[in-house]
Amino acid sequence: MKVELDREQVILFTPHHRIEGDLHLPATARLSDRLNAAKDFLPITSARVFSLDGRLLYETNVVLVHKAHVVMMMERHETL
């Protein structure tokens, strides 16, 4: 059975990086649902990884972030 996923643009902070990209969620899920899920890693697609001072370090199709390293995560709005 295939679950339909929505793409949510997010900004995620770790102690050393800011990561911007897409987090794929089931249509009825919230960001907090994804953080509370049993899986240890968050797959972020179309990812751009920045230093905390704003320098772009690299871009990649997918980056997996261990949930234990997430300090803050929010929806990204196009006005940013």
What CATH number should be reported for the domain holding residue 11?
Answer: 2.30.30.100
Residues 6+ apart with CB under 8 A from 61: 45, 46, 47
Residues 6+ apart with CB under 8 A from 2: none
Report yes or no on 48 lying in a domain.
Answer: yes
What pLDDT digit, counting tens, does each position of 55-79 carry?
999 999 999 999 999 999 998 876 5
**Is residue 80 a part of any domain in this protein?**
no
Mean pLDDT of 1-22: 89
Domain span including residue 40: 5-75
Residue 11: C-alpha distances to residues 2, 17, 55 (Å): 27, 10, 15
26 domain residue, yes or no: yes
For residue 25, pLDDT beyond 90: no
Domain-embedded: residue 10: yes
Cβ–Cβ under 8 Å, residues 65 and 41? yes
CA–CA dist 8, 75 (Å, integer): 7
The answer to whether position 18 is within a domain reads yes
Q: Does pTM surpass 0.75? A: yes
Better-scored residue on pLDDT, 6 or 68: 68
Q: Which of 10-14, 26-30, 71-75 has the highest mean pLDDT?
A: 10-14
**Domain total of the chain:** 1
